[in-house]
Amino acid sequence: MTLDDVDEYLRTLDGVRTRRTDGRRAWYVDGLLVARADAAGTLLVRLGGRDREQLVSAHPGTFGVPPRWEAHAKLQADLAGDDDAVRRSLRLAWERQRSARAGS
């Protein structure tokens, strides 16, 4: 998967907008971060809790949580990993951000 693939997928989800954050591509819904490009070949996905734990457990070759993110609702996705799992993480992050905005 490439960042262009990520962009193509996220643009199918209602309300997603692309921006540049610190020179990196990032995707937001209703002003809330869904994902952004991270280190080469990786993607930061704004997702925590049970969803994050389940994805890391089910797909350890695709997802991880760097020590600096342990206390945050963030997940690192390897773009060379399982494409379907990466898309699932993006959809979950989008759903979480949409519901967060609706609840405020």
pLDDT (tens digit per residue) in 3-25: 999 999 999 999 999 999 889 99
The backbone torsions φ and ψ at residue 23, rounded to the nearest 5 degrees and listed phi first, read 80, 0
3-state secondary structure of 79: coil
Q: With a threshold of 0.85, does the pTM exceed it?
A: yes
| CA 67 – CA 71 distance, rounded (Å) | 8
d(CA 19, CA 4): 13
- What is the rounded distance in angstroms from the CA atom of residue 14 to the CA atom of residue 54? 25
Phi, psi dihedral angles at 79 (to 5 degrees): -65, -15
- 86 pLDDT higher than 70: yes
Domains and CATH numbers, the chain: 3-92 (3.90.1150.30)
